[in-house]
DNA sequence: CCTGAGAAGTGGTCTATGCCACTTTCTACT
DNA sequence: AGTAGAAAGTGGCATAGACCACTTCTCAGG
């Protein structure tokens, strides 16, 4: 069997050559033509084309043809399995609960969670540590109406979203923003950095399958120890890799 | 035809239900069984399964079966077409060249590009504007050895990577880091913000198909006008959306 | 000259079928 | 009892053909 030459791969490689040698927007041969040229069946051709369409190298247009795509850049950052708590970094994470209460949402949080300021929420503040060093300060808010019986243990659990699921909440997606900021006095003392030191502010709003806001997270990450790494791939990306990293020791290539 | 019910979608939806109601690791019915249950052909079933495998909801194991995957979070940020210059934002971009020269790499840039400090590079510094407002300060470095005849016009072009390609350089991928910082005096005056204002530092190292470093970019983005937005999707992501945004006017939901 | 109908070519979907490769299980022989 | 091998079940790959939906071009009719 040694070779194990798959026709599908042959077709794909042939198409990759075409893509390399043709400018963006150029049409590639019709599927039925490719079948003849390469002596394969149409489903095989279609399968190969589909792969390249999925990776963004080709664009299909019904009734017109298939074309070399304009190169697009995709950037992927994948948090590890389990906790949806992006960002995630190498090293050993731990967390220390600073505060935990059931309180009214207030104006700021209520607006983000689309709640009345008087509506109750579960609130937890925790210091996140990497290898014993403070790395981030995280404030988590979950509407009490969403999960009335949520316990502290639930919120501390690594599989927080699995806990929510047990409470009948199916987490669907989240929108996250990242922006630079500087730490204030209390943040500085908790994180062990000088006041006004650079930091990253993460805000995340999580939505469930019913469209309800189920979580609002506000996190401050130390700028001197934390950076976001990402790999950008031009066009063909089989699967880009992770790389949200915490700098613990040396400074590395960057 | 009104309805236009695609069998493939029916199968996919059926599988999504199974995934919702089964724990991670649970097997789903065999493909041939699904064919009978849903009265469709195997290629149709396989096509639907493949889609869910691609989106990370199912895992196939040759000879064993197909299983519900452990939910993973993917975060995608896609820069618009054209310039690989991530980040990109809405609004009208323009740029003003501040400096342009062919100079020795120096220690810092040389290390990143894996060049001798004495090796020559093309250097360009430009101010990037959104709707006329300064948004970022970008420093671009390209080894002269990579593209000896590169002109200023090449480097200013929106399709800079296409220009490189014409010089025989096939850009492959890039590694980018993002970290918070504060602006210094000269950056502050160019960007029109106070000294020590929060900012994002982007560093990008681009590699070509031969493994050579072809570009090193160092950019400072205003923290008050720029933020990174991303959508995190649990498992099933047909295609997450863009969302690296510049805040020009109002503050928005966040 | 303009316009509309039709033909031709394209991708989109689906069926029916065959064989191969890998894994697990059970059985029969040692 | 242990082990090798067959059998059954799984996904992996490929074929041939049919029909549909959309786009473009051409050509005849106004």
pLDDT tens column, A182-206: 999 999 999 999 999 999 999 999 9
Query: Cα(A252)–Cα(B34) distance, rounded to whole angstroms?
Result: 51
Per-residue pLDDT, B126: 93
The answer to whether B88 contacts chain A (CB < 8 Å) is no
Per-residue pLDDT, B253: 32
Nucleotide D15's nearest residue (CA vs C1') is A41
Per-residue pLDDT, B166: 73
Per-residue pLDDT, B254: 34
Instruction: Point out the residue among A182, A229, A253 whose CB comes nearest to the CB of B182.
Output: A182
Nucleotide nearest to B5 (CA to C1'): C13
Tell if A32 CB is < 7 Å from nucleic strand C: yes
Interface contact B198-A180, CB threshold 8 A: yes
Contacts of A59 in chain B (CB under 8 A): none
Reading the block at residue A81, the tokens are: 């399995």
SS3 category, A243? coil
Q: How far is the CA of B25 from the C1' of C30 (A)?
A: 39
- Nearest Cα neighbor of B172 from A12, A242, A236 is A236
Which A residues 33-52 touch B at CB under 8 Å?
43
Query: Cα(A29)–Cα(A67) distance, rounded to whole angstroms?
Result: 9
Which B residues 122-161 touch A at CB under 8 Å?
161
Q: What is the CATH class of B7-71?
A: mainly alpha
Interface contact A229-B175, CB threshold 8 A: yes
- Nearest Cα neighbor of B122 from B141, B106, B104 is B141
Tracing tokens 């054209």 back to the chain, one arrives at B82
Binned at pLDDT 50, 70 and 90, residue A4 comes out as: low
Considering chain A, what is the average pLDDT of its residues? 78
Protein-proximal positions, strand D, CB < 7 A? 9-18, 20-24
Give pLDDT tens digits for B207-229.
Answer: 887 788 999 999 999 988 888 87
**In DSSP terms, which residues pair with A244 in a beta bridge?**
A228
Please name the residue of chain B whose CA is at the shortest distance from the CA of residue A232: B174
- Within chain A, all domains assigned CATH 3.40.1410.10 are found at 93-246
Protein-proximal positions, strand C, CB < 7 A? 9-18, 21-24
The reply to whether ipTM tops 0.85 is no
Q: What angle do CA B187, B159, B147 make, to 5 degrees?
A: 85
Binned at pLDDT 50, 70 and 90, residue A181 comes out as: very high
- Within chain B, all domains assigned CATH 1.10.10.10 are found at 7-71
Percent of chain A with pLDDT over 70: 80
CA distances (Å), origin A182, targets A89, A171, B134:
21, 31, 21
Taking CB atoms within 8 Å and a gap of at least 24, the contacts of A111-115 are A112/A203, A112/A205, A112/A213, A112/A216, A112/B253, A112/B254, A113/A141, A113/A143, A113/A205, A113/A213, A113/A216, A114/A213, A115/A143, A115/A145, A115/A213
pLDDT at A229 over 60: yes
Give Rg (Cα) of chain A. Answer: 24
Q: How far is the CA of A63 from the C1' of C7 (A)?
A: 14
Per-residue pLDDT, B86: 39
SS3 category, A51? helix
pLDDT at A237 over 70: no
* Section B129-156 average pLDDT: 86
Per-residue pLDDT, A242: 26
Percent of chain B with pLDDT over 70: 80
* Section B193-202 average pLDDT: 92
Per-residue pLDDT, A158: 63
Per-residue pLDDT, B121: 95
Per-residue pLDDT, B91: 59
The widest CA-to-CA distance across chain B, in whole angstroms, is: 71
Reading the block at residue A170, the tokens are: 């199916």
B79 to chain A nearest CA, in Å?
6
Check: CATH 3.40.1410.10 for A93-246? Answer: yes
Range in A51-60, A65-74, A92-101 with the lowest mean pLDDT: A65-74
Per-residue pLDDT, A43: 92
Q: What angle do CA B123, B125, B128 make, to 5 degrees?
A: 145
Query: Cα(A43)–Cα(A25) distance, rounded to whole angstroms?
Result: 24
Binned at pLDDT 50, 70 and 90, residue B53 comes out as: confident
Per-residue pLDDT, B242: 26
CA distances (Å), origin B168, targets B124, B171, B191:
21, 10, 35
Q: What angle do CA A143, B17, B74 make, to 5 degrees?
A: 60
Measure the N-to-C terminal CA separation of chain B; round to a whole number of Å: 43
B225 to chain A nearest CA, in Å?
9
Per-residue pLDDT, A142: 93
Give pLDDT tens digits for A9-44.
Answer: 889 889 988 888 888 888 999 998 999 888 999 999
Per-residue pLDDT, B233: 66
Binned at pLDDT 50, 70 and 90, residue B158 comes out as: low
* Section A217-242 average pLDDT: 68
Better-scored residue on pLDDT, B6 or A186? A186
């Amino acid at each position: 069997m040694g070779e194990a030459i798959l026709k599908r791969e042959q077709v794909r490689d042939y198409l990759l050559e075409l893509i390399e040698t043709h400018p963006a927007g150029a049409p590639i041969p019709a599927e039925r033509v490719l079948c003849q040229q390469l002596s394969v069946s149409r489903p095989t051709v279609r399968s190969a084309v589909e792969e390249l369409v999925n990776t963004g190298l080709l664009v299909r247009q019904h009734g017109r043809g298939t074309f070399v795509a304009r190169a697009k850049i995709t950037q992927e950052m994948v948090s590890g399995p389990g906790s949806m708590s992006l960002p995630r970094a190498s090293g050993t994470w731990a967390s220390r609960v600073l505060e935990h209460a059931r309180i009214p949402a207030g104006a700021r949080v209520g607006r983000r969670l689309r709640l009345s300021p008087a509506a109750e929420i579960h609130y937890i503040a925790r210091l996140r540590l990497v290898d014993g060093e403070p790395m981030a300060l995280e404030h988590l808010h979950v509407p009490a109406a969403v999960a009335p019986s949520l316990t502290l243990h639930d919120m501390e659990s690594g599989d927080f979203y699995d806990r929510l699921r047990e409470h009948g909440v199916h987490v669907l997606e989240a929108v996250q923003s990242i922006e630079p900021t500087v730490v204030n006095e209390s943040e500085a003392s908790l994180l062990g950095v000088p006041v006004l030191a650079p930091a990253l502010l993460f805000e995340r709003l999580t939505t469930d399958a019913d469209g309800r806001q189920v979580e609002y997270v506000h996190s401050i990450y130390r700028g001197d120890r934390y950076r976001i790494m990402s790999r950008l791939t031009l066009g063909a990306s089989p699967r880009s890799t992770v790389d949200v990293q915490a700098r613990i020791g040396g400074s590395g290539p960057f």
